[in-house]
Chains A and B, each alone.
Chain A
Amino acid sequence: MQRIGVFVCHCGSNIAATVDVKKVAEMARLEPGVVFADDYQYMCSEAGQAKIGAAIKEYNLTGLVVCSCSPRMHEATFRKCAERYGLNPYMVEIANIREHCSWIHKDMEEATQKAVILARAAIAKVNLNAPLQAGESRVTKRALVIGGGIAGIQTALDIADAGYEVDIVEKTPSIGGRMSQLDKTFPTLDCSACILTPKMVDAAGHEKIKIYTYSEVEKVSGFVGDFTVDIRKKARSVDEAKCTGCGVCQEKCPSKKTPSEFNRGLNNRSAIYTPFAQAIPNVPVIDREACIKFKTGKCGVCEKVCQAGAINYAQEDEIITEKYGAIVVATGFDTIKLDKYDEYAYSQSKDVITSLELERIMNAAGPTKGHLERLSDGKAPKEIVFVQCVGSRCSDERGKPYCSKICCMYTAKHAMLIRDKYPDVNVTVFYIDVRTPGKNFDEFYRRAVEEYGVNYIKGQVGKVAPQPDGSLLVQGSDLIDNKQIKIKADMVVLATAIEPNQGVRNIATMLTASIDTNNFLTEAHPKLRPVESPTAGVFLSGVCQGPKDIPETVSQAGAAAVKVIGLLAKDKLTTNPCTAQADELLCNGCSNCAKVCPYGAITYETRQVNDHGIREDRRIAVVNKALCQGCGACTVTCPSGAMDLQGFSNRQLIAEVDAICR
Chain B
Amino acid sequence: MSVNQEFRPKIVAFCCNWCSYAGADLAGSSRLSYPADVKIIRVPCSCRVNPMFILRAFEKGADGVILCGCHPGDCHYSTGNYYARRRMTLLFSMLDFMGVENGRTRVEWVSAAEGVKFSTVMNDFVEKIRSLGENVRLGDLRCKK
Q: Which residues of A contact B (CB under 8 A)?
A: 70-73, 96, 98-101, 103-107, 110-111, 113-114, 117-118, 121, 505, 508-509, 512, 514-517, 522, 534-535, 578, 596, 598-599, 629-633, 635-637, 645, 648, 650, 653-654, 656-658, 660-662
Question: A104, B53: Cβ atoms under 8 Å?
Answer: no
Q: Nearest 5 A-B pairs (CB), nearest first?
A: A99-B28, A632-B48, A661-B60, A631-B77, A516-B113
Question: A660, B10: Cβ atoms under 8 Å?
Answer: yes
Give chain A residues whose Cβ lies under 8 Å from the Cβ of B83: 596, 633, 636-637
Question: B12, A514: Cβ atoms under 8 Å?
Answer: no
| Nearest neighbor of A111 in chain B, beta-carbon distance | B36
From the candidates A113, A599, A633, A657, name the one contacting B41 in the complex (CB within 8 A): A657
Give chain A residues whose Cβ lies under 8 Å from the Cβ of B75: 512
- Kindly provide the distance from the CB of B122 to the nearest chain A CB, expressed in whole angstroms: 9
Given contacts A99-B29, A114-B36, A629 and B43 within 8 Å (CB-CB): no
From the candidates A512, A517, A630, name the one contacting B78 in the complex (CB within 8 A): A512
Can you name 15 A-B residue pairings with CB atoms under 8 Å? A70-B21, A73-B25, A99-B24, A104-B119, A114-B39, A509-B74, A517-B113, A535-B76, A598-B78, A631-B76, A633-B47, A635-B48, A636-B47, A653-B41, A660-B57
Separation of A517 and B17 alpha carbons in the complex (Å) = 19
From the candidates B28, B41, B73, B119, name the one contacting A70 in the complex (CB within 8 A): B28
Separation of A379 and B44 alpha carbons in the complex (Å) = 64
In the complex, besides A631-B47, A660-B57, 15 extra interface pairs with C-beta distance below 8 angstroms are A100-B28, A121-B41, A505-B73, A508-B74, A512-B74, A515-B113, A516-B113, A517-B113, A598-B77, A598-B78, A598-B79, A632-B45, A635-B48, A657-B60, A660-B41
From the candidates A71, A505, A516, A631, name the one contacting B44 in the complex (CB within 8 A): A631
Tell me if B66 is interfacial: C-beta within 8 Å of chain A.
no
Q: How many residues of B contact A (CB 8 A)?
A: 52
Tell me if B33 is interfacial: C-beta within 8 Å of chain A.
yes
Separation of A648 and B34 alpha carbons in the complex (Å) = 26
- Kindly provide the distance from the CB of A274 to the nearest chain B CB, expressed in whole angstroms: 35
| Nearest neighbor of B70 in chain A, beta-carbon distance | A514
Tell me if B114 is interfacial: C-beta within 8 Å of chain A.
yes
Give chain B residues whose Cβ lies under 8 Å from the Cβ of A105: 33, 36
Separation of A103 and B75 alpha carbons in the complex (Å) = 27
From the candidates A70, A512, A517, A660, name the one contacting B76 in the complex (CB within 8 A): A512
Given contacts A508-B74, A636-B83, A653 and B43 within 8 Å (CB-CB): yes
Tell me if B27 is interfacial: C-beta within 8 Å of chain A.
yes
Separation of A147 and B67 alpha carbons in the complex (Å) = 36
Given contacts A99-B24, A514-B18, A629 and B77 within 8 Å (CB-CB): yes
| Nearest neighbor of A576 in chain B, beta-carbon distance | B44
| Nearest neighbor of B42 in chain A, beta-carbon distance | A71
| B112-124 interface bits toward A, Cβ cutoff 8 Å, 1 = contact, 0 = none | 1110000100000
- Kindly provide the distance from the CB of B116 to the nearest chain A CB, expressed in whole angstroms: 9
- Kindly provide the distance from the CB of A607 to the nearest chain B CB, expressed in whole angstroms: 26
Question: A654, B56: Cβ atoms under 8 Å?
Answer: yes
From the candidates B24, B40, B80, B111, name the one contacting A516 in the complex (CB within 8 A): B111
Tell me if B52 is interfacial: C-beta within 8 Å of chain A.
yes
From the candidates B12, B22, B25, B47, name the one contacting A660 in the complex (CB within 8 A): B12
From the candidates A111, A534, A578, name the one contacting B112 in the complex (CB within 8 A): A534
Give chain B residues whose Cβ lies under 8 Å from the Cβ of A631: 44-45, 47-48, 76-77, 80
Give chain B residues whose Cβ lies under 8 Å from the Cβ of A512: 74-78
Give chain B residues whose Cβ lies under 8 Å from the Cβ of A648: 43-44, 48
Tell me if B32 is interfacial: C-beta within 8 Å of chain A.
yes
Give chain A residues whose Cβ lies under 8 Å from the Cβ of B50: 635-636, 650, 653
Separation of A114 and B43 alpha carbons in the complex (Å) = 19
| Nearest neighbor of B65 in chain A, beta-carbon distance | A657
Tell me if B62 is interfacial: C-beta within 8 Å of chain A.
yes
Tell me if B31 is interfacial: C-beta within 8 Å of chain A.
yes
Give chain A residues whose Cβ lies under 8 Å from the Cβ of B52: 650, 654
Give chain A residues whose Cβ lies under 8 Å from the Cβ of B34: 104
- Kindly provide the distance from the CB of B26 to the nearest chain A CB, expressed in whole angstroms: 8
Give chain B residues whose Cβ lies under 8 Å from the Cβ of A630: 44
Question: A96, B33: Cβ atoms under 8 Å?
Answer: no
Question: B31, A104: Cβ atoms under 8 Å?
Answer: yes
Separation of A99 and B25 alpha carbons in the complex (Å) = 5
Question: A657, B113: Cβ atoms under 8 Å?
Answer: no
Question: A100, B24: Cβ atoms under 8 Å?
Answer: yes
Question: B79, A633: Cβ atoms under 8 Å?
Answer: yes
Separation of A629 and B50 alpha carbons in the complex (Å) = 18
Question: B45, A662: Cβ atoms under 8 Å?
Answer: no
Give chain B residues whose Cβ lies under 8 Å from the Cβ of A637: 83
Give chain B residues whose Cβ lies under 8 Å from the Cβ of A650: 50, 52
Give chain A residues whose Cβ lies under 8 Å from the Cβ of B74: 508-509, 512, 514-515
From the candidates B22, B47, B77, B78, name the one contacting A534 in the complex (CB within 8 A): B22
Given contacts A72-B21, A104-B32, A509 and B73 within 8 Å (CB-CB): yes
Which of A114, A596, A633, A653 has most B Cβ within 10 Å?
A: A633
Give chain A residues whose Cβ lies under 8 Å from the Cβ of B79: 596, 598, 633
